[in-house]
Amino acid sequence: MAESASGTGALATAISEAQRAQLIQEAFRLECFTIAWMLIEAAVAIAAGLVARSVALLAFGLDSVIELVSTGVLIWRLDIELRRGQSVAEAAERTASRIGGALLFALVAYVLLMAGWSLWTRQGAEFSWLGVSVTVTAIPIMWGLSRRKLRVAEALGSPALRADAVESLACGWLSFVVLVGLLAQLTLGSWWVDAVTSLVIVWLLIKEGREAWKGQKAGA
* 9: in domain: no
CB 149 within 8 A of CB 161: yes
Q: What's the domain count of the chain? A: 1
Task: Measure the CA–CA gap between 170 and 166, rounded to whole angstroms.
Answer: 6
Give the CATH number of the domain where residue 95 resides: 1.20.1510
Does the pLDDT value for residue 122 go beyond 60?
A: yes
* Threshold 0.85, pTM exceeds: no
Calculate what percentage of the chain has a pLDDT beyond 70.
83
- Confidence (pLDDT) at 200: 80
**What are the pLDDT digits (tens) for 71-97?**
887 787 777 767 766 555 566 667 767
Mean pLDDT of the chain: 79
* 2: in domain: no
Does the pLDDT value for residue 166 go beyond 50?
A: yes
* 4: in domain: no
Task: Measure the CA–CA gap between 24 and 116, rounded to whole angstroms.
Answer: 42
- Confidence (pLDDT) at 170: 78
- Confidence (pLDDT) at 1: 47
- Confidence (pLDDT) at 137: 95
* 175: in domain: yes
Task: Measure the CA–CA gap between 171 and 207, rounded to whole angstroms.
Answer: 12
pLDDT band at 4 (very low <50, low <70, confident <90, very high): very low
Calculate what percentage of the chain has a pLDDT beyond 90.
20
CA atoms within 13 A on the CB side of 109: 6
Rg (CA), the chain: 20
**Residue 55, CA distances (Å) to 20, 30, 215 in order:** 42, 29, 29
Task: Measure the CA–CA gap between 45 and 135, rounded to whole angstroms.
Answer: 8
**What are the pLDDT digits (tens) for 7-65?**
434 433 433 677 777 888 888 899 999 999 999 999 999 999 999 888 888 888 988 88
- Please report, as a single letter, which amino acid is at residue 68: L
* 17: in domain: no
- Confidence (pLDDT) at 196: 82
* 14: in domain: no
- Confidence (pLDDT) at 5: 46
pLDDT band at 215 (very low <50, low <70, confident <90, very high): low
Q: What domain range is 62 assigned to?
A: 22-214
